[in-house]
Amino acid sequence: MSRKWQASDIPSLAGKRVLITGANSGIGYHAALKLARKGAHILFACRDRQRGEAAIARLQADSPGTHTELVILDLASFASVRSFASAEVGRNRALDLLINNAGVMAPRQRLETTDGFELQVGTNVLGHFALTALLMPALERAAAAASAAESDRPRVVTIASIAHKRGRINFDDLQSKRNYSPMGAYQQSKLANLLVAFELDRRLRAVHSPIMSVAAHPGVASTNLFQSGKYSPLEKSLRNLASHVISIALNTDSEGALPTLYAATSPEVTDGGYYGPQGFQEMRGENVGPARIASQAKDTTAASRLWGICEELTGVKLL
C-alpha cells in the first residue's frame, strides 16, 4: 500500500447489517463505533444486558443518529447461541458482516462452559464455530444481494492473535483435562481460530460461494482481556498496570481495532487473508497489512481434523 490505511477509508456501509461478538468493550466496541459511523446497522452481541446497554448509550452519545441494536448472546452456551441464531435467521434479514471478536484469555484456573468444555476452547473456538454455522443462511441472503465488487461481498472476520505462533493443537487433550496451562490453552484456541478460518475459506471457495472468510489480529493492544476474570487484588492491580503500559508503548484498543476494520471492509482484502499491524514483531503500528502465519496454522490436515471435531462437539454442520 502506498499510504497507511485509515478508518476514514471505510466505504459507506449504509444498509449493511453487522454483527460483532463482544462489542461492548475493547476492540469490538471501537470496531462497532467506526462501522456505525459509516452507516452500518450494528448488532451488539453481548452476554450481559447491562454492559451492552451501557456500551450502546456510550456509542450513541459519541455518534448520535447511528444505528445500533443489542442482542444477548453467550458464546459459552450452545443453548444461547442456538436461541439467538434461530431468532436472527427467523427475521429473514441479510447479515453482511460477522465479526467473531469476543474471547477469553488465560484464566488462572481451568474453567468450563455450560456445556462442559474448557472455557477458552469452548468460547473462542466452538462458540464462534456454532454461531457462524447457524448464521450462514443470513450471510447467504446478503451474498445473493451483493454486487460483484469485492467490498460488497459478505465477510466472516475471525479475530486471532500473534499468540497463535506458539500454539499447538493437542488433539489428545483438547479440553486440557489432564494438563491445564492458562496461556497454553489460550494459544491453542487462537491457533484453532486461524485453522478454522482458513478451512472455512477453502470450503466456501470449493462451493463457489461469494462469502469471504478472513482473519485479523490486533498486535498487542490494551483491551479488557487483560483485566476481566477472577483474580486476586494484587493480580488485578498488575493486570491494570500492564494494560496501561501497553496502551502507551504499543496499541490502545482503538488502534488495535484497525486490522479488524481493514479485514472487514477493505477492497484490498483477499479470500483467506490474515491481517495485522506492521510494526515491530507485529505488536504495534497503525500501518495494517498481511500478517505472518505460523507453519502450524497452514496445516490443512490438522484443520480438517479440527473442523470435524468442532462439528461433532457443537452438533452443528458447516459446509
User: Is 13 strand, coil or helix?
Assistant: coil
110 Rama class: left (phi>0) / alpha (psi -120 to 50) / beta: beta
In angstroms and rounded to an integer, the radius of gyration of the C-alpha atoms of the chain is 18
Task: Count CB-CB contacts under 10 A for residue 292.
Answer: 12
Exposed/middle/buried for residue 261 (C-beta within 10 Å: 0-12, 13-18, 19+): buried
Residues in the chain: 319
In the residue annotation, 186 being an active-site residue is answered as yes
Q: 3-state SS of 181-197?
A: CHHHHHHHHHHHHHHHH
Rounded to whole angstroms, the Cα distance separating 293 from 297 reads 6
Give every CB contact of residue 83 below 8 A, 6+ residues apart in sequence: none
Rounded to whole angstroms, the Cα distance separating 145 from 305 reads 33
Exposed/middle/buried for residue 45 (C-beta within 10 Å: 0-12, 13-18, 19+): buried
Q: Catalytic: which of 29, 180, 186, 275?
A: 186
- Return the active site residues: 186
